[in-house]
Amino acid sequence: MQVLPNITIEHYLSLSAVLFCLGLFGMMFRKNAIIIFMCVELMLNAVNLALVAFSKIHGDTDGQIFVFFIMVVAAAEVAVGLAILMMLYRNMHTTDTDELNSLKG
Amino acid sequence: MLTEYAFWLLSFIAVFSGMAVIISKNPVYSVLYLIMTFFSIAGHYFLMNAQFLAAVHIIVYAGAIMVLFLYVIMMLNLNNIETEKRHNIIKLLAVSAAGLLLLVLSGAVQKADEIAVSGQVGAAGMVENLGIALYRNYLLPFELASVLFLAAMVGAVYLSKKNLNETQSA
Amino acid sequence: MEKLVSLIPLFPLIGFLFITFFGKNLSKNAAGALATAMAGISFILAILVFTTQLHGAHPVMVKVLDWIHVGSFQVDISFVVDPLSTLYVLFITGVGSLIHLYSIGYMHEDEGFHRFMSYLNLFVFFMLLLVLGDNLLLLFVGWEGVGVCSFMLIGFWYKDHANNDAAKKAFVMNRVGDLGLLLGMALIFIQCGSLRYEDLFINGSGIASLGKYTTLAAILLFIGAMGKSAQFPLHTWLPDAMAGPTPVSALIHAATMVTAGIYLVARCSHLYAMSEIASSVVTWAGVITAILGASIALTQNDIKKVLAYSTVSQLGFMFAALGMGAYTIAVFHVVTHAFFKALLFLGSGSVIHAMGGEQDIRRMGGLKGHMKTTYWTFLVGTIAIAGIFPFAGFFSKDQILAHALENNMPVFILLMLAAAGTAFYMFRMFYLTFHGDFRGTHEQEHHLHESPAVMTLPLIVLAIASTVGGFIGFPHAIGESIHFHHWLDHFLDGTVVLAHSHMSALTEILLAIFAMGIAGGMIYYAYSTYIIKNTLALEDDEITSGLHRLLWKKYGFDELYENIFRRPIDQLSHGVQHWIEDKALLMMVDGTGSAAKGLGHWMKGWHNGQILTYLIAIVVGLIAILYFI
């Protein structure tokens, strides 16, 4: 299962896992909503990487098509998400997620 | 040989800039580091013979999405350094959660069975093949993706309207 | 003809049901007449059935209903028609109907009249079940039924809690005895495989299968009899039961329910004949009770209490007779006792009625002039119980004494003492009540009047029975030589074990004269004390002598039982209530509620609205899922 000479699929999967966990960690660690968003993008990209690696192994295009669609969704999501963020800022005058506790109780 | 080095280099850059995204205080720096991450991932795509995808990746992500991010950051004037006042316990929790996940995933990877390799290796990734697959097998999702974009666009425009819910937001 | 027996218990049952459900629509007289009529019809049927048994005893089982058929346990609701049961049925329904008639007059003013008549009918029904049943289980049903009716009737005036306490006491003590009865029945069933008299006593000797358990079974059954017939030590409920209306005391606690114990032992006479030890237990329990009852009665001043202790004492006589093997004589004494004790109770009821509710004989006196019929009938009853020829009590008591003289000298001496005591206290009561000057209030004096005919008619009938009833059991020895029938012995032969007497006629006559002499002496002593010297009975605070006090306090049995049984159980209940109910159970119930509340409260804390919290939760969940898959 060599993706590249001397590089097996496990390498790619590990890399993907590391990036994913980094993104996850970042999501939990940072307060700023925008940074959290960016970490989400990071996670998505990690998944994309894994998918392309799989596609290479199988010799199929399926993985890459999937990556396409993930990118589509990511783009749409960013658009809407940032719009929401804008509205949030307008109301709360901050992007600190710790302030968003009106659902408390 | 070269590919091997390339792989390791690119991996290193990706992980490093990923960490930098999280750690940097200035959001603009975070954006820039993220772009660097995207580039390194695009490099990986190139290595894996998915050139088209790499190009699209750069155009969409680094070109469009990150620009959007920058727009928002600039608009909200968020390049001030923010104070992080997270409790220690939360930081601990976050680290352990992420660490655990990494552990589980790598464990899964180690334990995974061999994947059966099939057919021609390497032919995929050319635009032609991608196009054929996309328009032949995945036509419906393709069309639906356009609908999805429409919805996102409408949503984004609607949500950003200024004179909406001003009196009702309290 | 024997088939008619299945109708006998039916009529009182119909009476009970009818009055219970439709009694509101009936007037008092109508309800009373109905109840009495039901008892009367049963009596007539009883006579008819009785006549079938007069010419040789051949027990007939009349099956009414299938009841329990479980594996090897087979009992039916069927009635046994044999001399013992028909004799009992005869006097139960006979005396019962008279008491129903009497109650119409006695309870006339009472607002619970209908309830009373229905309970009386129900009681007669259960008593009939008891004596007619052809197996121990049906007997037990009747046994429990009469216990329940006794409870309901003792506590008839339920608004006064003292009555309720007395009723409870009666019931609980009965229950203690019932435990013995149940265990005995179980033992018999396990060893002999059947509870039916046919299998146990009549066909072959099924009872012999008891083997080494014979004594145990006999004693267990006797414990049941002890409870029901108020023998020592389960005797304390009977005097307290006087809290009920007088007809109840007459019917239940003189003539019928308390004789159920005698019936049980007589029915199982074959069993007792097989066990020496059990028979001695029975004898001595009876003797002790006889002395106990007689001695306490010497000091009592409530007219009904005297009669109650007298009943206890007479029952002791009967059990002594049973224990010595004289089953027939005991049954004979049951019959005669039913007559004169019912008479005495009804007479006392008449007195109480006239005195407007007063029961203390120290407040009475000189009633002879005001209540002629009551006076003469009461006199007949008193003479009968004292054992003077030719009244009924003489024959039965005398035969018991004869049997004791022959078999067991200590028993004879003690029973003689008890008989002497009987004569004394009965006449003491009689003189204090009817002779001398009136010691009550003026108001009571104006109220004095003879009772109406409904009440005096039964008195007269019972007085006649007490006079001539003795002749059915003319002593064997004397009878042989004077050519009288020894009717009862012949009658009951085959059903109960016969006693064998080897006494010569002369000894019997001498004994009779001796006994009568003693009785006469005691009567004269009473006469001289209360009439000639005109001594008055002591007031409560005047009783100082140690012996007198001891007897007056009934040997302290009530206090003893109170301390041994009631107090610890009371405290146990209080403890349980306090610790288990108030604390533990409450904690459990409340605890569940507050636990649920606390859980909810805790979980509410999770919803802090912070995105991060939710995020972490998601991640943790994700990890968990990944791990486990």
Does the beta carbon of A36 lie under 8 angstroms from any beta carbon of chain B? no
Give the residue extent of every domain in chain C.
557-628
Q: Which of C616, B33, B58, B21 is nearest to A22 (CA)?
A: B21
Q: What is the DSSP string of C72-105?
A: TEEEEEEEEESHHHHHHHHHHHHHHHHHHHHHHH
- At C485, is the secondary structure helix, strand, or coil? coil
Count how many domains chain A has.
1
pLDDT in tens, B149-159: 999 999 988 88
Chains A and C: how many Cβ contacts under 8 Å? 27
Calpha distance C415→C420 (Å, rounded): 9
Segment among A26-35, B45-54, C196-205 with least mean pLDDT: C196-205
Q: Find the CB nearest B104 among C612, C616, C627.
A: C627
Q: Find the CB nearest C609 among A28, A31, A103.
A: A103
**C294 CB neighbour count, 10 Å cutoff:** 29
Q: Find the CB nearest B97 among A6, A28, A62.
A: A28
Rounded to two decimals, the ipTM of the complex is 0.89
Assess whether B75 and B2 both reside in one domain.
Answer: yes
Residue of B nearest to A102 (CA): B170
Strand partners, C73: C70
Q: Find the CB nearest A104 among C608, C615, C619.
A: C608
- Does any domain span residue A39? yes
pLDDT band at C554 (very low <50, low <70, confident <90, very high): confident
Residue of C nearest to B107 (CA): C627
Calpha distance C257→C230 (Å, rounded): 10
Contact assessment for residue B109 and residue C626, using Cβ atoms and an 8 Å cutoff:
no
What's the pLDDT at B105?
A: 84
Calpha distance C59→C202 (Å, rounded): 9
Calpha distance C250→C352 (Å, rounded): 14
Assess whether B4 and B74 both reside in one domain.
Answer: yes
Q: Mean pLDDT, to the nearest integer, of C433-453?
A: 79
Judging by beta carbons within 10 Å of its beta carbon (0-12, 13-18, 19+), is residue C611 exposed, middle or buried? middle
Residue of C nearest to A97 (CA): C611
Higher pLDDT, C578 or A77: A77
Query: Looking at this protein, which amino acid is placed at residue C146?
Result: V
- Highest-confidence range of B30-34, B103-107, B109-113, C56-60, by mean pLDDT? B30-34
Residue with tokens 């606690």: C253
Q: Would you call B100 and C622 a contact, using CB atoms and an 8 Å cutoff?
A: no
What's the pLDDT at B31?
A: 93
- Does any domain span residue B98? no
What's the pLDDT at C481?
A: 47
Calpha distance A87→A64 (Å, rounded): 35
What's the pLDDT at C589?
A: 86
Chain A adjacent subunits, 3+ CB pairs under 8 A: B, C
Q: Mean pLDDT, to the nearest integer, of B54-83?
A: 85
Residue of B nearest to C619 (CA): B97
Which residues contact residue C360 at a Cβ distance below 8 angstroms, ignoring those fewer than 6 apart? Answer: C301, C302, C303
What is the b/e burial string over C89-102, where b = at least 16 CB atoms within 10 angstroms of the residue's CB? Answer: bbbbbbbbbbbbbb
Q: Which of C125, C90, C349, C130 is nearest to C229 (CA)?
A: C130
Q: Which of C614, C458, C374, C577 is nearest to C96 (CA)?
A: C458
- At C299, is the secondary structure helix, strand, or coil? coil
In percent, the amount of chain C with pLDDT more than 70 equals 93
Calpha distance C110→C107 (Å, rounded): 5
Average pLDDT, chain C: 84
Calpha distance C29→C100 (Å, rounded): 12
What's the pLDDT at C483?
A: 42
Calpha distance C412→C409 (Å, rounded): 5
Cα dihedral A67/A72/A76/A77 (nearest 10): -10
Higher pLDDT, B28 or C546: B28
What's the pLDDT at C81?
A: 85
- Highest-confidence range of B12-21, C14-23, C462-471, C550-559, by mean pLDDT? B12-21
Residue of B nearest to C627 (CA): B104
Which residues contact residue B77 at a Cβ distance below 8 angstroms, ignoring those fewer than 6 apart? Answer: none
φ, ψ (nearest 5 deg) of residue C303: -60, -35
Does the beta carbon of B44 lie under 8 angstroms from any beta carbon of chain A? yes
Which residues contact residue C98 at a Cβ distance below 8 angstroms, ignoring those fewer than 6 apart? Answer: C342, C346, C458, C461, C462
Mutation target among A21, A22, A24 for the C interface, most CBs of C within 10 A: A24
Domain holding A13, by residue range, is: 2-98
CATH of the domain at A33: 1.10.287.3510
Does the beta carbon of C618 lie under 8 angstroms from any beta carbon of chain B? no
Angle between helices A62-92 and A33-58 (to 10 degrees): 180
Q: How far from the centroid of its chain's Cα atoms is residue C491's Cα? A: 25
Does the beta carbon of B103 lie under 8 angstroms from any beta carbon of chain A? no
Assess whether B71 and B132 both reside in one domain.
Answer: no
Calpha distance A16→A87 (Å, rounded): 33
Domain holding B140, by residue range, is: 124-162
Does the beta carbon of A8 lie under 8 angstroms from any beta carbon of chain B? no
- Does any domain span residue A30? yes
Segment among B123-127, B146-150, C352-356 with least mean pLDDT: B123-127
CATH of the domain at B68: 1.20.120.1200
Distance from CA of A104 to the nearest CA of B (A): 16
Calpha distance C192→C217 (Å, rounded): 11
What is the b/e burial string over A74-86, where b = at least 16 CB atoms within 10 angstroms of the residue's CB? Answer: bbbbbbbbbbebb
Residue of B nearest to C626 (CA): B104
pLDDT band at B54 (very low <50, low <70, confident <90, very high): very high
**C358 CB neighbour count, 10 Å cutoff:** 18
Q: Would you call B124 and A15 a contact, using CB atoms and an 8 Å cutoff?
A: no
pLDDT in tens, C230-282: 888 888 888 888 888 999 988 887 778 778 989 998 888 888 888 888 888 99
Q: Find the CB nearest C609 among A24, A27, A104.
A: A104
Q: Which segments of C355-450 does DSSP mark as H helices, in order?
A: 372-386, 392-407, 409-434, 442-447
Contact assessment for residue C87 and residue C50, using Cβ atoms and an 8 Å cutoff:
yes
Q: Mean pLDDT, to the nearest integer, of B117-132?
A: 68
Q: Mean pLDDT, to the nearest integer, of C35-56?
A: 84
φ, ψ (nearest 5 deg) of residue A33: -60, -35
Task: Indicate the pTM of the whole model.
Answer: 0.69
Q: Which of C199, C194, C117 is nearest to C153 (CA)?
A: C117
- Report DSSP state, residue A2: E
Which residues contact residue C282 at a Cβ distance below 8 angstroms, ignoring those fewer than 6 apart? Answer: C222, C265, C272, C319, C320, C322, C323
What's the pLDDT at B96?
A: 84
pLDDT band at B56 (very low <50, low <70, confident <90, very high): very high
For residue A6, the surrounding DSSP H or E stretch is none
pLDDT band at B163 (very low <50, low <70, confident <90, very high): low
pLDDT in tens, C179-198: 999 999 999 888 888 888 87
Count how many domains chain B has.
2
Q: Would you call A28 and C611 a contact, using CB atoms and an 8 Å cutoff?
A: no
Residue with tokens 């009497």: C102
**B100: chain C residues, CB-CB within 8 Å:** 623
Sign of the CA dihedral with A28 first, then A29, A34, and A37 last: negative
Calpha distance A20→A11 (Å, rounded): 14
What is the b/e burial string over C63-72, where b = at least 16 CB atoms within 10 angstroms of the residue's CB? Answer: ebeeeeeeee
Contact assessment for residue C362 and residue C439, using Cβ atoms and an 8 Å cutoff:
yes
Q: Mean pLDDT, to the nearest integer, of B75-91?
A: 70
Q: Would you call A77 and B82 a contact, using CB atoms and an 8 Å cutoff?
A: no
Does the beta carbon of C468 lie under 8 angstroms from any beta carbon of chain B? no
Q: How far from the centroid of its chain's Cα atoms is residue C495's Cα? A: 23
pLDDT in tens, C287-306: 999 998 998 888 888 889 99
